[in-house]
Amino acid sequence: MFFNNRKKFNGQVVELLPQLGFSLDEAGVWKTANGLDIAWQQKYNHHEAALYVAYLVFAGMLKANEPRASDVIQRIRSASSEWVSQGVVREDLANLFSSKADEWITRYGL
């Protein structure tokens, strides 16, 4: 039962990634799996977990000076706002993730 729930959770998260501006292949399967392990332990729902993974991917793009980082953060923030308004993502969690991204942008530039 546990593994079926976890498999379903992972699949639901992966389905949301294209809305955030990238695919599982672009994010990296193993890096995404590591992020999902943390999200699962934190008891994030699949939308919150997708945001968590998206911000991790954005951080990697920013550090690598990838040109798509600007587009990705805009898509993440747009989806985050929509999901908060729909009640599927906790506002405090979305704000926490966004604040961390602001710190990264200040540190690495955009």
Query: Could you read off the pLDDT of 8-24 as tens digits, one per residue?
Result: 999 999 999 999 999 99
27, 19 Cβ separation under 8 angstroms: no
The pLDDT of residue 2? 54
93-108 tens-digit pLDDT: 999 999 999 999 999 8
Rg for the chain, CA atoms, rounded: 13
Q: What is the pTM of this model?
A: 0.91
Output the CA–CA distances (angstroms, integers) from residue 16 to 10, 12, 83, in the order listed: 10, 7, 11
Q: Is the dihedral of CA 80, 86, 87, 92 positive or negative?
A: positive
Contacts of 91 (CB under 8 A, 6+ apart): 84
The pLDDT of residue 5? 86
33-92 tens-digit pLDDT: 999 999 999 999 999 999 999 999 999 999 999 999 999 999 999 999 999 999 999 999
88, 47 Cβ separation under 8 angstroms: yes
pLDDT band at 6 (very low <50, low <70, confident <90, very high): confident
CA distance linking residue 42 with residue 97, whole number of Å = 14
